[in-house]
Amino acid sequence: MRYIFHVALLISIGLIACTGNKHEGVQQISPDGLEELLANENTVLIDVRTPEEVATGYIPGATLFIDAYSDDFESRLLQLDKDKTYAVYCLRGGRSARATDLLASQGFSSVYNVEGGIDAYTGRLIKN
């Protein structure tokens, strides 16, 4: 009985950790909502996937590519201009949720996590 409780607790924690942002300052945006957000010249679209993933294609308008697995990931994010608006995406939304939580916790006031990541994006991709 105790074993079942522990397994259920671990599964619950895992589901909570994967279901979005923990920080109140982060807004969720659908991939379809990106076009309107990117129309504002103050908005920066950040791709936090690996270089190998980016090579398969990225969302038009992405201007920053910061690998979430790189050693300098957090420091590169925290060097960004706090007066800008940031939309962040990855493959499915986990890495971008981590990035947007970090930004919001450090005082960035206009932060968006792209729900479902590039997997949910239905538009054309830019390929190198």
Catalytic residue among 37, 38, 90, 114: 90
CA 46-70-78 angle, to 5 degrees, is 55
- Quick check: is 18 catalytic? no
Choose among 94, 114, 109: nearest CA to 33: 114
Which residues on adjacent β-strands are paired with residue 65?
A: 47
Catalytic residues: 90
